[in-house]
Amino acid sequence: MRGALVLRGALGAAAVAVALLVPAIVEATAANPPYLQQVIDLIAIFAIATLSLTLLSGVAGQLSLGQGAFMAIGAYGTSLLAVRYHWPLGLAALAACALCAVTGVLVGVPALRLRGAYLVMATLAFAGITYGAILNWTEFTGGPQGIQGIPAPAPFGTPLITERDFYYLILAALALALAIVTVVRRGHRGLRMRALRNDELAAMAVGVRPAYERTAAFAISAALAGLAGALLSMFVGYISPDLFTIDQSVQILTMALLGGMTSVLGAIVGAAGVQTLAELLREFSEYQLIAYGAAIMIVVILVPDGIVGGLRRALARLRKGAT
Amino acid sequence: MTLLALEDVRLSFDGLTALDGVSLPVERNELVGVIGPNGAGKSTLFNVICGYYRCDEGRVELAGRSLSGLPPWRIARLGIARTFQNPRVFKELTVLENLMVAERTSGLRSWLDVPRRVRAHAREWLAHVGLEHARDVLAGGLAYGDLRRLEIARACVGRPSLLLLDEPAAGMTGQDQVDLVEVIRVVRERDVAVLLIEHNMPLVLGTCPRVVVLNFGRPIADGPAAVVRNDPHVIEAYLGASDDEEVAADAPQPG
């Protein structure tokens, strides 16, 4: 038992060290360091968005194809507050995440009546409506032109310009998101959410209030997706509706399914896998959805609990064989 | 004081009468056996008490408080715990986690961790039902008898004032049944009333001081086991019992 804990701690420390050294490794080995670092930054941003699904789906059992819309609200909220109303960037991002949480409740409450495919359709519709709104509400959102001139964050006074500087900000946000999902999952409320996901009738029989738990999960999940959107807007510097099409939501769901939602690591693995795939298929971007569809089908059939879930089971089997 | 009071509870599904005027008082800390042929409405009665079904007519009260129209989770929090005829556990949670779910916590703390007192209380019940050895096993992998023990323990963790057991001895053999009787005794030590649906007649007649017999959704006998056993209506109901399926073997899916 103690040995396992020590091993865990060592692995965790190693992971942190590697994460901190990534820019140096990229610098030393990549043919085009800024490009690779940019891809890695995007992976970390999308890992946060994927974690929002790990919480909503993996813990509370609600599927959503609307996470891209929460990203959009996080991105537009941050950008509008910062650019048009000159709020400090950090405060703008915080307010945008809070707005996402409120929106999450507004979407989550009617969604309570829905399960499975119906819930997916409803959240998909939400993503469609949000996209339509930011595209057509030109006076407010800038329409197809989007919003430009989003300032670079400057947490320590000097603005973060390079992909490398940005990486540490995103890494800190990712660590926060990982901590939130891990803590919620292990806590008592998370336990009640997981029970609800397992068996709603039995959960009610021990006093779990389904509507309350699901709405709470929706709110936190939306805020996390909003955080990813806020980071994306700061990272790219300008935003436009085509960053937040329905495809974006599909991509996030693909990441979650590919990596697996039974563990927070799944979000990172899934984001890395899909983002790498997207970069490789950059020239065939119109076929991206086909690739995602194929990836989802393969994963769902071969490893229903995702890559990380599958690896864990394989590892457990190995360990059993060894003893 | 009367803990649970059912008054003239009626419920029918599409013209099929499941409960046909059930009146039943249960006292604090009482142990009442509920028997009757298949389809007599025993499980349906439990589902009405717990709020999974809404009765068409009649009243259900817990300690003087009406339960009519309350959702199941609310009724659970008011102090009625239950087990299901087909065990329903949280398969992807460990045995200990299954029990911890049933504790109530609130506030920020409940988001951050599982409070120590919750863990300790859950362990206590784990010991009462003899499942300590399986503490960290996923509940989905338990044997049938252990599923039933787990369900009973989970129901008790929430400190109910009334426990409804739906055929807890089904599929249990000799020693398991002895253990079950012991668990029921431990439960009642905590001032909990127990309603026990059971097909195993020797078990019910041997442990329950009071037995209620349902037939066609109506109580046909209610009294000490020795009296009920020799009641002509009861003998007739059992001898002439049809093998109809239970009207509602288990709770329905919501929605």
Residue ranges covered by each domain of chain B: 2-89+161-239
Q: Considering only alpha carbons, which residue of chain A is nearest residue B252?
A: A201
Query: Helix, strand, coil % (nearest 5) of chain A?
Result: 80, 0, 15
Question: Are A258 and A307 contacting, i.e. CB atoms less than 8 angstroms apart?
Answer: yes
Residue with tokens 């045995």: B95
CB-count burial class (<10 Å; 0-12, 13-18, 19+) for A234: buried
Taking CB atoms and an 8 Å limit, are A191 and B72 in contact across chains? no
Residue A128 touches chain B, beta carbons under 8 Å = no
Residue-wise pLDDT for A122-134, tens only, equals 999 999 999 999 9
The pLDDT of residue A323 is 61
Nearest Cα to A252, choosing from A230, A217, A228, A234? A228
Residue type, B26: V
ipTM of the complex: 0.88
Residues of A in contact with B135 (CB under 8 A): none
Distance from CA of B229 to the nearest CA of A (A): 33
Residues of chain B whose beta carbon is less than 8 angstroms from a beta carbon of chain A are 50, 52, 71-74, 76-77, 81-82, 84, 88-93, 97-98, 100-105, 109-115, 118, 154-155, 157-158, 251, 253-255
Strand, coil or helix: B4: strand
Nearest Cα to A177, choosing from A239, A243, A265, A99? A265
Q: Considering only alpha carbons, which residue of chain B is nearest residue A216?
A: B111
Taking CB atoms and an 8 Å limit, are B155 and A188 in contact across chains? no
The pLDDT of residue A172 is 95
Residues of A in contact with B91 (CB under 8 A): 198-199
Structure tokens at A178: 């990982």
Q: Considering only alpha carbons, which residue of chain B is nearest residue A194?
A: B93
pLDDT-based confidence at residue A1 (cuts at 50, 70, 90): low
Question: Are A175 and B87 contacting, i.e. CB atoms less than 8 angstroms apart?
Answer: no
A26 has a pLDDT exceeding 50: yes
**CA-CA-CA-CA dihedral for A194, A198, A203, A209, to nearest 10:** 60
For residue B61, CA distances in Å to A35, A169, B11, B65, B104 come to: 69, 58, 16, 5, 23
Q: Which positions ≥6 away from A126 have C-beta within 8 Å? A: A66, A69, A107
Residue A279 touches chain B, beta carbons under 8 Å = no
Taking CB atoms and an 8 Å limit, are A191 and B93 in contact across chains? yes
Q: How far apart are CA B5 and CA A117, in angstroms?
A: 42
Query: How far from each other are the two terminal CA atoms of chain B, in whole angstroms?
Result: 36
Query: Over chain A, what is the mean pLDDT?
Result: 92
Structure tokens at A15: 């992971």
Structure tokens at A206: 């021990």
The pLDDT of residue A299 is 87
Which among A184, A199, A208 has CB closest to B88?
A: A199
Which among A115, A183, A208 has CB closest to B73?
A: A208
Taking CB atoms and an 8 Å limit, are B101 and A206 in contact across chains? yes
A270 has a pLDDT exceeding 70: yes
Taking CB atoms and an 8 Å limit, are B102 and A207 in contact across chains? yes
pLDDT above 70: percentage of residues in chain A: 99
Taking CB atoms and an 8 Å limit, are A183 and B105 in contact across chains? no
Which among B74, B93, B157 has CB closest to A195?
A: B93
Domain B2-89+161-239 fold is Rossmann fold (3.40.50)
Distance from CA of A193 to the nearest CA of B (A): 9
A-B C-beta contacts closer than 8 Å? 97
Question: Are B26 and B162 contacting, i.e. CB atoms less than 8 angstroms apart?
Answer: yes
Q: Considering only alpha carbons, which residue of chain B is nearest residue A217?
A: B111
Distance from CA of A190 to the nearest CA of B (A): 7
Tens-digit pLDDT string for chain B (255 aa): 799 999 999 999 988 899 999 999 999 999 999 998 888 899 999 999 999 999 999 999 999 999 999 999 999 999 999 999 999 999 999 999 999 999 998 888 889 989 999 999 999 999 999 999 999 999 999 998 899 999 999 999 999 999 999 999 887 888 888 999 999 999 999 999 999 999 888 889 889 999 999 999 999 999 998 898 888 888 888 766 444 444 344 444 444
Taking CB atoms and an 8 Å limit, are B118 and A183 in contact across chains? no
Residue type, B33: G
Q: Considering only alpha carbons, which residue of chain A is nearest residue B152?
A: A206
Within a 10 A sphere around the Cβ of A90, how many other Cβ atoms? 15
Which among B73, B103, B113 has CB closest to A187?
A: B113
Residue type, A188: H
Distance from CA of A233 to the nearest CA of B (A): 30
Distance from CA of B159 to the nearest CA of A (A): 10
Q: Mean pLDDT across the stretch A210-238?
A: 95
Residue-wise pLDDT for A46-93, tens only, equals 999 999 999 999 999 998 999 999 999 999 999 999 999 999 999 999
Q: How far apart are CA B111 and CA A194, in angstroms?
A: 13
Q: How far apart are CA A162 and CA A157, in angstroms?
A: 15
